[in-house]
Amino acid sequence: MRSDLELLKDVTEELKFEPSVDEKEIGVGVKSGVVTLTGNVPSFAEKFAAERAVERVSGVRAVADDLQVKLRPANSRSDTDVALAAVNVLKWDMEVPDDKIKVKVVNGWVTLEGHAEWHFQKAAAERAVRFLTGVKGVTSLIAISPKVSPTDVMKRIEDAIKRSAELDAKRVFVEAEGSKVTLRGTVRSWAERDEAERAAWAVRGVSDVEDRITISA
């Protein structure tokens, strides 16, 4: 088991390594494998990148992201401007069913609502607005709504996990109820946990994934 001091060192180095993050503005705390990030960052994109960087570090069991987005004056935009930019960027993204998604902006926080047939379409919409100037946060309420057989969903996910070179399929268990999927088991790293979740979301008809996989100490 890696010590908190070792994790602190590696997390700090990974934040320094990530070019889209200014690590000097970010405080890092580690307790029992749980990493807490504090401080202010100038954009939601940087907040997101910092969290992803921490998750890449081996031994991290959870991340508490307490970073606050404090826009620089030059990057401040009215809610109307942010909303217009969001609508336009969704229209330009080929993966986004923009005619099925609505945008709401309050104090720089973007909320996406509507429906999609695939999770990658929902993820594409979130990604598109994440990097817009003036965005302080993103909440996605986009629902995935095709009708599918739970047995078929479960088998497709299990097969995808077996094909993955990054996962030990014997340590991950899949349950399906309607279009909702629950993942259980134990893996060796956050990257493996993400890979299992990615395999679940990649199956047509999955509307919700509850990831209960734990990371071994």
What DSSP string describes 149-211? -HHHHHHHHHHHHHH-TT--GGGEEEEEETTEEEEEEEESSHHHHHHHHHHHHTSTT--EEEE
Run of H or E residues at 116: strand 109-116
- What does the domain layout of the chain look like in residue ranges? 4-69, 76-144, 150-215
Instruction: Give CA–CA dist 106/128, Å, rounded.
Output: 18
Rounded mean pLDDT of 85-100?
Answer: 95
Q: For residue 217, what pLDDT band results from cuts at 50, 70 and 90?
A: low
Structural contact between residues 125 and 212, judged by C-beta atoms closer than 8 angstroms: no
Helix axes 190-201, 119-130, angle to 10 degrees: 120
pLDDT at 147 over 70: no
Q: What is the pLDDT of residues 126-143, one digit of tens each?
A: 999 999 999 999 999 998
The fraction of the chain above a pLDDT of 90, given in percent, is: 62
For the chain, the first-to-last Cα distance in angstroms comes to: 6
The whole-number pLDDT of residue 48 equals 95
Rounded mean pLDDT of 198-213?
Answer: 86
The fraction of the chain above a pLDDT of 70, given in percent, is: 97
pLDDT at 167 over 80: no
- Whole-angstrom Cα Rg for the chain: 19
Tokens encoding 119: 């999770």
The whole-number pLDDT of residue 146 equals 65
Instruction: Give CA–CA dist 48/110, Å, rounded.
Output: 14
Q: What is the pLDDT of residues 49-86, one digit of tens each?
A: 999 999 999 889 899 999 999 999 999 999 999 999 99
Which of 149-158's residues contact partners 24+ apart within 8 Å by CB, and which partners? Answer: 150/176, 150/177, 150/178, 150/179, 151/176, 152/205, 153/179, 153/181, 153/203, 153/205, 153/206, 154/181, 156/203, 156/204, 157/181, 157/199, 157/200, 157/203, 157/206
What does CATH list as the number for 76-144?
Answer: 3.30.1340.30
In degrees, to the nearest 5, what angle opens at C-alpha 56 toward C-alphas 66 and 179? 80
Rounded mean pLDDT of 6-12?
Answer: 94
For 4-69, CATH number out of 1.10.357.10, 3.30.420.80, 3.30.300.130, 3.30.365.10 equals 3.30.300.130
pLDDT at 189 over 90: no
pLDDT at 97 over 90: yes
Of 17-21, 71-75, 163-167, the poorest mean pLDDT is in 163-167
pLDDT at 148 over 70: no
Q: Matching CATH topology for 4-69 and 76-144?
A: no
What does CATH list as the number for 150-215?
Answer: 3.30.1340.30
